[in-house]
Amino acid sequence: MSEPPRPSEELPSIYGPDGRPVFFSDPAMDRFVPVVLNLASELWVQTELVADLISLIERKGIASRAELDELSGDPAVDGEREAALTDYINRVLTPLREQRATPA
């Protein structure tokens, strides 16, 4: 497997043996930071999407905000939401689950 590309303007010393940047002395922190960034990205995308959908649904007269709020806790929707939650957690926590090379 080839080494991932490195930005030419960065000092090579920030890269660990696996070619990934190393910013903290604890490798777990270097894996945790992408988790936080993944969460932030996921949250913002979902926030924008929900706002757009609520606006469209209200504008079209399909449902009011109160009716949309009532959907929470509907047993018919719970199974689908649990599966979606599992997928979400897997995406967000991927950096923590990756095996990284340890320096010899």
Assess whether pLDDT exceeds 70 at residue 103. no
pLDDT-based confidence at residue 17 (cuts at 50, 70, 90): confident
Tens of pLDDT, residue by residue over 20-77, are 888 888 888 888 888 888 889 989 999 999 999 999 999 999 999 888 877 776 777 7
- Is residue 7 a contact partner of residue 94, using CB atoms and an 8 Å limit? no
User: Which value, to the nearest 10 degrees, does the dihedral of the CA atoms of residues 66, 69, 73, 75 take?
Assistant: 80
Across-strand partners of 15? 21
pLDDT at position 48 is 95
pTM metric for this prediction = 0.49
Q: What are phi and psi of 6, to 5 degrees?
A: -115, 140
pLDDT at position 9 is 58
